Structure 1
Amino acid sequence: MIKTISVENFMRLDRKISVDLGPVTILVGANGSGKSSILKALHWSIRCARLRDGSGKVTLERMDYVPSRDFLELAHKKRIQNKDDLPKIKVGFIDDHDSETRISISAARNDAGVKVSIDGPLASALTAENPQTAYIPGLAGLAEVETVLATPVLRRRAASGEGGSVLRHILLDLAEYNDTASNHLELIELNRWVEKVIPGVRFWVKFDRIRDVNIDAQFWTPDMAVAGRSIEFQRKPLEMAGTGFLQVVQIFAYLLTFKPRLLLIDEPDAHLHPGTQEALIRAIEEAALEFPDTQFLISTHSPSLVRACGAETKVHWIENGTIRVEDENRVRLRMGWGALDKELIIISEDEKLSLLDGIISQWPDLHRKILIWPTFGTGGLPSGQSVSKLRKALGIPIVIHRDRDFMADEDIGEWKKKKEYDSNSVPVWITPGSDIESSFVNSDHISQVLDISIDEANELIKDAVLSLDKDEVERSFNSALYSAVSQIDLNLRSAPSARWRELGGFCENTVKGKELLKQIEKSAKRRYANTAESRKLGNLNKLRLGSKEKPVCECLKHVLSAALMGA
């Protein structure tokens, strides 16, 4: 068992990064964080150590796997050099006895390949003839045809990472196929493992050395069943399977064929449904028990995969080429929330988040740091105590959003007390107007979007209000305010009639923003349709979008910035 691996000066990785391994280890992190660099460094270094000649040299032609044909550029932000005093690519392996085996890679003279050295107690084992690493970067599909290869050629092709060129051949080897057999043989052991992920799946392979030129591999799943026909006539060629399906097949075919010391799997979730991702990690954890000499190292972006992994699986957060020091349970929890690379969560009362997200997108630096979670109404917003516990568990600030719904500031204060937000120091953003949509009922915003004057924008708003039924607006106002303050003590909440007068009676302040926006659009169409200015209507679809030039809701930016600074 390898306890720890380390990589230094390779692709995204500058300083030495050490990763503790378990039977199954998962690497999570944003794109470009260095997850794949770790997998590629392990596979490339071990393959180079295996293929070096007596002087330690490996030419490009001899490499069966290389992350880039411009291999001299694989060092971090620099070319590999052949001088002893210059940095080398280094990969390390610490075993159960805490002894380290090191692989160092530098350029060969005249840039004609690389110079590789390997020293330590695992040197012989890592350079054994049977591949000690299997790298599965994902398949783009299968080769059109495959024929039988000599064993050394098969192993080189398999080691290349281009499993689609030899997958049928690997299945043929699993079948221990008789040279003169003319029927398809079923791959019982492969069935057993793959059906843990894809229930009921079965595989067959055939190659008659006397009669066949190419290897024939077939598969069947229960959804292909046709009543009255035997499975023999329902099976399909393997190349008709989907990409995610083929990657699952490759994982277990490589495991059963090579039983490598390290099985390196890069983003197996990319083409799989979340439920299938969960089944895959459970199957891999089961395989780790049955094949204790193989350790699985997986990179992923999948919350589903991380959420489903067992307690024995190690999870590491890779960020900017280093391991971020976090409690492993926190990493799992943040991954499950989809908040791994976020710095703040907004828990919103809204079901549809596009408007809130559109406002935040006005500030790109903030936008990329924020995750929005819906709660489908104010009744679903958590208490301050619940937010405090979640904030502590995730290690990330949380902001609550709710619509004002015509409440006075005093109403909002009482509501926040009721929800225990102030006592738990939970920041809350309340829309300035009745709802999110009211943020766009702004003459400056309308003027910019439709390319009209401020006066014209104000006229559109006025026309929109006057086009509404006053009694219906007042009924809607009363209903929204009553619902908003219903949980507040009667003596401490606004009376709808008094609040109506306070806001100016029948005017834009007492109309729901979502209704007013619809009427503004209709008013604009009445005014500009079939006129020389009808082109302005082409921008109506931008009315509900924020603007970087003239942002709406600057108050939201202040709340979010303060929460981030406080964190």
Structure 2
Amino acid sequence: MLSEELNIMKVEGIEVCSFKRIEKIDFVTPRLTVLIGGNNSGKSSLLQGIHFAITVLQSARLSSDGGKSMTTLGFDQFIYKPTGDLVQLNFNAAITSKVGPEFKFTYKDAASDELRTFKLQLRRGKNANIAILFDAKSTFFTRAANRTEPLSVFVPGLAGVPLREELRTASVVANGIAQGDSNVYLRNILYHILQNSAKLTKFHEMIASVFPGLRISTTFNPEMHLYIDISVETDARTSALEMVGTGCLQAIQLVAYVTAYDPDLLLLDEPDAHLHPSNQRLLASTLQRITELGRTKVILATHSRHMFDALARDDEVQVIWLKDGQRQPEGDKRNLSVLLDLGALDSFELFHAGQQRLVVLTEDTKLSKLQVLLQANGLKLSEYLVQPLNGVSNLPAAVPVADFFVSQADNTFVVIHRDGDCMTDEEKTWWIEKESKMLPPRTRIFVTQLTDIEHSFCKPAHLAAVYSMTLDFAENLVEDAIVANASQFTIEFANKRAQLKQTTLRLMKDVPSAVDLMGKRIKFDQVKGKSLLPKILDSLKLAGENPMRLIETGSDALKAAALTQVVIDINHVPVPPSPDAISSAMEFPAK
């Protein structure tokens, strides 16, 4: 066991250099730190780097020369391996005898306010081994090298637990914790907590704030039973561990790790993945309770707006925004919250990297046809950014995101796309006029001329242009497809019109019914493009044509007045002389 003095040593700051995607990141460690960023931004690399550095010291202690300040370890001697080839852990190059990952921890020993530093360096050793340089006499090494009371617990995503678990020795469980396999040994951890009355009391007290009255128990007897059983009592109901709800199970896991090991650092990589928002909020509450009741500091990476909102409202919570392995300037938490929603943070980073002046918010998730349409209307791929956004037809969902993007620069434009959805021209005009009142400056609504984006590619004029066929032939091809599938198209149109009257057109007077509009039979402009287009593509294939050309080629038939007007507007607004100002504009515009 560690002495009490070493056990309450506090990590105050961390620096990770030249590790995986990270060139250099340093930060202080308050009680809770939230890492955000787009895909491949370095969030996981940072968490792995911290845990790797600590477990390297554990590995050094286990080696025969672990008391020396320079130790050489073979691949199999590393407890935790973030990759199958440790030589490739260095930033942008392999580890050599002169360059490699470096780590620095700033810490305080017990009963002292003096800040101390501990440095760890990795270099290439002989025979493909890794040389480790550090101060073996440091109290940090003594604390971090202890496996039974680990300095860090790394959880690469919270998940379910195995259905069966045999009793393992403390060293096997500790080794699994160090390797990031915490879930595999959860029953073992809970069983050992149950054997220690002080830890069991702490466990129940800590989890009670999130799940009042929750109790764990076991009937496991190592002399009689092969597998560990853990029962969970909550809401006057007792269930097996694997049968409790996801939110409850994840709270049990986190509180168990902290209770059993009391680590300085709890490192969590997207613990909210695939969780319902209500369970994400429970998870956030659990983490806050952990940091309030003990000395454990939490560092977690997330993509979730719900987790971010639940944690970042606390002024003491640190938010670190990463991009390309580098820390970004601190931004307004309200804006970061908006961008996290629906993956818009990734788009914002791309927006800044390319300095595009137009952002297109769309309800479509497959963007290739929309991009062809934009190109046909005079927009180059390098000039705009497309951001899928659910709920665009309910315009208030898109306004905060549009508001953010136009606030980045005086020459930025936003187009909000929604499908025509079987509305008449009069209905589209009414809806645009009504909804445009809430839009921020330089924001336009683009409603497709026909029912949807796909419908534009079904125009006979577009077919004629792409395949050099006569307009009469193209019209007959389209008409044949409509006649052959008239029943399906009629039902779809009727259902959509009924839906429109209850939603988008609910406040409009005298909305005609599907029967009033169709007359004797359904017309081209009333057909759902997503249904018609596959029929036309099949007909083109039967005619010996390459059907993909239809949706990959632009033509004048795809031009839309609303889009061409945006191009005109953009070209009339000059580019400001200082584009660097964009990256610092992280506040909502004044209203």
- Name the counterpart of 1:212: 225
State which of 18, 31, 47 in structure 2 corresponds to 1:39.
47
C-alpha deviation, 1:320, in angstroms: 1.0
Alignment pair present for 1:308 and 2:310: yes
The TM-score normalised by the length of structure 1 is 0.70
User: d(CA) in 1 for partners of 2:38 and 2:179?
Assistant: 26
Q: Aligned ranges for residues 121-132 of structure 1 at < 5 Å?
A: 122-128=140-146, 130-132=149-151
Q: Aligned ranges for residues 323-472 of structure 1 at < 5 Å?
A: 323-329=327-333, 330-336=335-341, 338-343=343-348, 346=360, 353-354=363-364, 357=367, 359-360=369-370, 362=372, 369-376=386-393, 388=403, 391-392=406-407, 398-401=414-417, 415=433, 419=437, 424-432=441-449, 436=453, 438-443=455-460, 445-446=462-463, 455-461=472-478
Describe the superposition over 1:98-145 as per-residue Cα deviations: whole angstroms up to 9, x where unpaired.
543222122332223442314877444433452101111134643743
User: d(CA) in 2 for partners of 1:251 and 1:560?
Assistant: 52
Read off the aligned partner of 1:294 and give its amino acid letter: T
C-alpha deviation, 1:400, in angstroms: 3.1
- Name the counterpart of 1:491: none
User: d(CA) in 1 for partners of 2:453 and 2:383?
Assistant: 18
Alignment pair present for 1:142 and 2:162: yes
Which stretch of the first structure deviates more once superposed, 189-198 or 2-11?
A: 189-198
Q: Aligned ranges for residues 471-510 of structure 1 at < 5 Å?
A: none
Indicate conservation of the 8 Å contact 1:315/1:328, yes or no.
no
User: d(CA) in 1 for partners of 2:447 and 2:406?
Assistant: 20
Indicate conservation of the 8 Å contact 1:29/1:319, yes or no.
yes
State which of 222, 236, 259 in structure 2 corresponds to 1:256.
259
- Name the counterpart of 2:63: none
C-alpha deviation, 1:360, in angstroms: 2.8
Alignment pair present for 1:94 and 2:111: no
- Name the counterpart of 1:502: none
Alignment pair present for 1:49 and 2:53: no
Describe the superposition over 1:28-68 as per-residue Cα deviations: whole angstroms up to 9, x where unpaired.
12232211111111111111123311333233333222212
Cα pair distance change 1:430/1:98, threshold 3 Å: farther
Tell me how many residue pairs correspond in the alignment: 501
Cα pair distance change 1:106/1:335, threshold 3 Å: same
C-alpha deviation, 1:354, in angstroms: 3.6
Alignment pair present for 1:9 and 2:18: yes
User: d(CA) in 2 for partners of 1:454 and 1:197?
Assistant: 68
Read off the aligned partner of 1:163 and give its amino acid letter: S
- Name the counterpart of 2:180: 161
Cα pair distance change 1:95/1:354, threshold 3 Å: same
The TM-score normalised by the length of structure 2 is 0.68
Cα pair distance change 1:537/1:286, threshold 3 Å: farther
User: d(CA) in 1 for partners of 2:194 and 2:394?
Assistant: 57
Read off the aligned partner of 2:259 and give its amino acid letter: L
RMSD across aligned positions (CA):
5.2
- Name the counterpart of 1:500: none
Cα pair distance change 1:425/1:193, threshold 3 Å: same
- Name the counterpart of 1:501: none
Describe the superposition over 1:463-504 as per-residue Cα deviations: whole angstroms up to 9, x where unpaired.
7899999xx99xx9xx99xx99x99xxxxxxxxxxxxxxxxx
State which of 87, 92, 101 in structure 2 corresponds to 1:77.
92
Cα pair distance change 1:5/1:402, threshold 3 Å: same
Cα pair distance change 1:66/1:438, threshold 3 Å: closer
SS of alignment partner, residue 339 of structure 1:
helix
Cα pair distance change 1:117/1:243, threshold 3 Å: farther
State which of 116, 123, 132 in structure 1 corresponds to 2:133.
116
C-alpha deviation, 1:198, in angstroms: 6.2
The share of aligned pairs that are identical, in percent, is 22
State which of 308, 317, 322 in structure 1 corresponds to 2:321.
317
Read off the aligned partner of 1:68 and give its amino acid letter: T
Indicate conservation of the 8 Å contact 1:28/1:35, yes or no.
yes
Which ranges in structure 1 are unaligned for 5 or more consecutive residues?
Answer: 179-184, 226-230, 488-505
Indicate conservation of the 8 Å contact 1:360/1:367, yes or no.
no
Which ranges in structure 2 are unaligned for 5 or more consecutive residues?
Answer: 1-9, 61-65, 109-113, 352-358, 375-380, 509-517, 576-581, 583-591
User: d(CA) in 2 for partners of 1:69 and 1:519?
Assistant: 48
- Name the counterpart of 2:195: 176
C-alpha deviation, 1:265, in angstroms: 0.9
